[in-house]
Amino acid sequence: MNLNSYYKKFEPFTYKTLSDLEKKIKSLNLDIPISSEVEILQQRIKLENRFIPNRLAIQPMEGADSLEDGSPSELTFRRYERFAKGGAGLIWFEATAINNDSRTTNHQLMLTEDNKNFFKKLVSQTRDWSNQSLKELGFKEPILLILQLNHSGKYSSKGKKDSSVIISDEELEELEDIWVRKAMLAREIGFDGVDIKACHGYLISDLLASRIHESSKYQGKPLKNRTRFLINMITKLKKEINQTSDFFITTRLGVYDGVPYPNGFGVQTRENEVFPASIDISEPLHLITELYILGVRLINITAGNPHQKPHITRPYDIPIKGEEHPTEHPLYGVSRIINLATTIKKKVPEDMVVIGSGYSYLRQYAGHIASGLIHEKKIDICGFGRMAFANPNFPKQIFQDGIINKKETCITCSRCAEIKRKGQSTGCFIRDPLYKERY
């Protein structure tokens, strides 16, 4: 099925039973597998020389609650304690700035030599909380903790001051080395791996789509130019670490942003298309092949730019205040992001662990779709973002009860994203008493 040609009118989530959801998926002719048996989500999975204890992950969700120097605050510790006690096998820590210029606000986490001990404490406590929860649930392997390192590009404080500034090749060369140093610092303080963030319209995501600046060795029509920055960093980082190290290098990669050619990534080279552009993931697949050759064995797949068209990244029932509903059914959006990840999984070598996104919209039935994907070997791990804000115990509920508690699910109201855009600390304003009282 050509996902780009199949649109249906927007409808909210009204499915009373799993059967109701399955009927709607079939009526829309979408490829979203469902399994009533969720035990498979408790299977471990091999990643190089270790195992991830189960098939559920917490995706990177910014709380915008750091101290001004970038250190984790009490709210940050609270959030990761809630994530850790839920029983997911992997926690992917939120976007953490590599320097002050790359922060979106002065309440985005930032890792520095000066505050590394605060991060070390956060990592240590999260590991302890997680491993205790995993042990209680019967898992033998320990938690995997990944830190997402990011430069916000045009969304950074520097970028907001003058959005007309195009970053120079000299600046990019300097950032390569800064990024590598911060990755090594992440290793020093106890993370199991580092994500070089390449999605959602931030710096690397922009470079991957930047065909029009022909004078830059990091931009222009040739794909080797647009991937050079990411490839250079991973190459440098691989040289810094021992090849037998347990420290994993990965990326959360936006394989489709929907922006029409010549500016989009993962889109067909057609002139005069409108948003969302037709999908062509040949360039993302080429990049992933290069990453595999460099030794990358874990990749997290996402899509879209939530700053521009958030429904591509996270289908919802209620848009951010001031925005409109998309012209597509939310299940179409779910199917798109699921199928992008499953297509990648089908094409990459078997030992590349692929994490998928976009499941929170499915509410209490999300575990059934996750298990359907795992049963059919279409994905390796299912990652949840908004659901973890609303109900950090969703993995435990799936493992113990076979279904997520519908009274505790994310209802995709977009409030968490709306408040974050305003630069305020964020969480779930429907389910979390702390944020219900605060706002």
273-321 tens-digit pLDDT: 999 999 999 999 999 999 999 999 999 999 999 999 999 999 999 999 9
This prediction has a pTM of 0.96
| pLDDT tens-digit series, residues 143-171 | 999 999 999 999 998 776 665 556 899 99
d(CA 201, CA 244) in angstroms, rounded, equals 33
Amino acid at 359: Y
pLDDT, one tens digit per residue, over 186-220 is 999 999 999 999 999 999 999 999 998 888 999 99
The domain locations on the chain are 3-438
Helix (H, G, I), strand (E, B) or coil at 22: helix
Cα 131 to Cα 128: distance, rounded to the nearest angstrom: 5
Q: Chunked in runs of 10, what are the mean pLDDT values of the chain (439 residues)? A: 56 97 97 97 97 98 97 98 98 98 96 98 98 98 98 86 73 97 97 98 97 91 97 96 82 97 96 95 98 97 96 96 91 98 98 98 98 98 98 98 98 96 94 89
CATH topology of domain 3-438: TIM Barrel (3.20.20)
In the numeric block, which tokens belong to residue 241? 């670490």
CA separation for the pair 78, 257 (Å, rounded): 33
Distance (Å) of CA 273 to CA 62, 255, 339, 414: 33, 18, 22, 28
